[in-house]
Amino acid sequence: MASMAAISRGLLKRRGIVRSPAAVAGLGARSMASWFGHVEPAAKDPILGVTEAFLADPSPDKVNVGVGAYRDDNGKPVVLECVREAERRIAGHLNMEYLPMGGSINMIAESLKLAYGEDSEFIKDKKIAAVQALSGTGACRLFADFQKRFLPDSQIYIPIPTWSNHHNIWRDACVPQRTFRYYHPETRGLDFASLMDDIKNAPNGSFFLLHACAHNPTGVDPSEEQWREISHQFKVKNHFPFFDMAYQGFASGDPEKDAKAIRIFLEDGHLIGCAQSYAKNMGLYGQRVGCLSILCEDELQAVAVKSQLQQIARPMYSNPPVHGALIVSTILGDPELKSLWLREVKGMADRIIGMRKALRDNLEKLGSPLSWEHVTNQIGMFCYSGMTPEQVDRLTNEFHIYMTRNGRISMAGVTTGNVGYLANAIHEVTKSA
Ligand code: KET
């Protein structure tokens, strides 16, 4: 029987990789390169690429309002007090064994209470299949893979515009994408009529990706009344709502209020999916801690669904990391730390709301001929400014202000110290528009 080495040599020869020693001596570098010679550099990520460019800029004036990461009023990353205290309590007391494939049971239990409500009957009846996920991105991706595996003919309806990575996630899971409208470019607000039309016109039983609150990148959310109408129409059409809830607490300052859309759908008897992230609302960005849940018809179905989610995770990363999950379960499992967290989330949301007002006031004081009402009407981490890619390029090239080319400003990066500079630059590039 041919040895493995001989087989692979044969393979390499057929690919023209292995040559005579003389040829190898002359062609060493090139022949090695030919394995990956066809690999072109990937396109820069529209969000994380902005951070790379910001870091490379030596200007002392530079401002980063690209990535959605909260900064304090001095522009510094924030570690919440509740997180610091949880870390003190954890330190030195716990082992570092693997978590179960589905992740931390306590973290999941607390996450479900946040999303579905403290006294949710669905939790009591064990109807929810839930696993710890690699933050919000990982939760979305697990769901997309699950969708592909068990409903291989389904599609996903994605709002336009949305977080750019949603497109990548469902693309890589090989789920065909359709889009639906909700944003009105002229008013920079909600286009409710088009939203309802697109829900009605989608084939019955379609999957829809919905932002639970603080819609990225627009900051444009339906009102409670509009959510009720949306939920009703989903019922009529038998659509499946998948909520991406990356900003619970960041919209209103109150995680309960920000879960309202989900609660409305639950009241109306929908089965739902939900991706939760603690990146923003606990500031645990790099810890990669989140939760994917799917509300099922009964406990039996939930057990089956959970086991399949675990099976999707096993060959990818086996089981999720332990530290971030411990921080979350320590905070949410302790009434005192939880109330500290709630105060801190509100503090972050309030600072952002204050910066919206400051940015608008500054632009109006500069005598901008444009309306900036949308800056304060939109909600959450982002302001979808309406600036064009060319105007954004000018902000970057002339003023060292870094943001995504779709005109999204991460309000979380705006501070008392830079809001005047930012407003002035925005005024300069938009005043002749
Ligand atoms: N969903 C939405 C809507 C979202 O904006 C983000 C992150 C995520 C999920 C994922 O977050 P995670 O860190 O995986 O829990 N958005 C910001 C960061 C990024 O692009 O990764 C952003 O839009 O800037």
Residue owning tokens 């009605």: 200
pLDDT in tens, 8-62: 444 444 444 444 444 444 445 555 568 999 999 999 988 989 999 999 999 999 9
pTM given for the model: 0.91
Query: What is the distance in A from the centroid of ligand 1 to the CA of 164?
Result: 9
Cis peptide before 320 (omega within 30 of 0): no
For residues 308 and 213, give the distance between their C-alpha atoms in angstroms, rounded to a whole number.
28
Cβ–Cβ contacts within 10 Å for residue 39, how many?
7
pLDDT in tens, 233-263: 999 999 999 999 999 999 999 999 999 999 9
Residue owning tokens 């041919």: 2
Give, for ligand 1, the residue of 50, 54, 137 to mutate: max count of ligand atoms closer than 8 Å to Cβ: 137
Give, for ligand 1, the residue of 64, 166, 216, 382 to mutate: max count of ligand atoms closer than 8 Å to Cβ: 216
Query: Which residues fall within 8 angstroms of residue 213, CB to CB, at 6 or more apart?
Result: 221, 245, 247, 248, 250, 251, 252, 258, 259, 260, 261, 379, 380
**Dihedral pair phi/psi, residue 417, rounded to 5°:** -75, -30
Picking from 37-46, 102-111, 327-336, which range would have the lowest pLDDT averaged per residue? 37-46
Nearest to 377, CA basis, from 353, 403, 405 = 353
Q: Which atom of ligand 1 is nearest to the CA of 134?
A: 14
For residues 398 and 396, give the distance between their C-alpha atoms in angstroms, rounded to a whole number.
6
